[in-house]
A = this chain, B = another copy of it.
Amino acid sequence: MNRVDLNADMGESFGPWKMGDDATLLKTVTSANIACGAHAGDPDVMVATMRTAHANGVGIGTHPGFADLQGFGRRRMSVPRASLQNSIRYQVAASVGVAKSIGARVRHLKLHGALANMASEDDTLARDLFEAALSVDPDLIVMVLCATAQEEAVRALGCSYAGEIFADRAYNDDATLVDRSLPGAVIHDPQIAGPRMVEMVQAGAIITESGKRIKTSIDTICLHGDTPTAVEIARSVRTALEGADIAVRQFDGRRH
C-alpha cells in the first residue's frame, strides 16, 4: 500500500503575535516543522508547539532559517558559509534540547524560506547546511525538496532523508516551482489540491503544469499553515489520500 506523510510549518508565532492555526493543523498533519527562534518562534512558542505536537503523535522537526525576524527568513542574505553553519548548529541545538526538556525528540530537519530556496539551487550549500545540522544530531531525517540540489546533497552525504512535494504549488518542467507572481502558481482550491496529491503519490512523480511526469520519491507533502484556506486544504488532501487507500503516516527516512 502507498503511504505518505503530511507536514506543515508551525510554531511561527512570536511573542504576542499569532501566526497560523497550529492546534487545528496538528490534528491533520503527521510531521511539524517548528521554527527555532531565528526567523520566527520564541522559546514559549517552541515549547507550546512541541508539547501539542508530541501529545498528538506528530513528528517534530527543526526548521532553521535566516536570523531575520522582520523579514521572516524570506530575504536572502550574504552570510559567510561558516557563519551560516554555526547558525544552523545553534538553531538545531535549541530545537533538539528544548524537545528533550519536555520529553519529546526532534525527528527531522527542514530548511526554511530563503535558506531553503538557496539550498535548492546549490548542492554544496545544501550539503554544508545539512552537515552542520547532522553534527548536532546524526539521526535527523533530512527533509528535502524532491528533485532539487537538496536531494543531490543528501544522496552525496548518504544520510537518511525524506522527499517532499507541495500540495498547493504548481511545478515547472524542471521541477522548480512556478513563480508566485504567475497565474495558477498557488492552488487555493481545496477541491483541486486533494486529487492532485493522490495522482502524484500514485504516480510516484511530480506532475508539472504541462503534464510532464518527473519520477521522484514522494515521502511527504507540504501543507501551508498561514493561508486563509490552509486548514481546509489540509483536510481535503488528507481525506483524498485516505479515500484512495494511501496511508497517511510519518516517513521513516530513506537512504540511497
Q: Which residues of A contact B (CB under 8 A)?
A: 13-19, 37, 42-44, 46-47, 67-72, 75-79, 82-83, 86-87, 89-90, 92-98, 100-102, 114, 132, 135-137, 226
Contact = CB atoms under 8 A, between A and B. Distances in A.
B86 A90 contact: no
Copies of this chain present in the complex amount to 4
Contact of A75 (B18, B79, B92): B79
Contacts of A132: 101
Contacts of A89: 43, 47, 97-98, 101
A44 B78 contact: no
Give the residue among A13, A18, A89, A90 with the most B Cβ atoms within 10 A. Answer: A90
A81 B226 CA distance: 24
Contacts of A135: 100-102
Contact of A114 (B18, B44, B78, B114): B78
A46 B88 CA distance: 13
Nearest to A102: B135
25 contacts: A13-B17, A14-B14, A15-B71, A16-B19, A17-B17, A17-B18, A43-B83, A43-B86, A46-B90, A47-B86, A67-B70, A68-B68, A68-B77, A69-B69, A75-B78, A76-B78, A77-B77, A89-B97, A89-B98, A93-B96, A94-B94, A98-B136, A100-B135, A100-B136, A100-B137
Contacts of A37: 90
Contact of A94 (B90, B100, B102, B137): B90
Contacts of A19: 16-17
A71 B79 contact: yes
Contacts of A70: 14-15, 42, 67
A240 B172 CA distance: 58
A114 B15 CA distance: 15
Given A14-B17, A75-B79, A97 B92 contact: yes
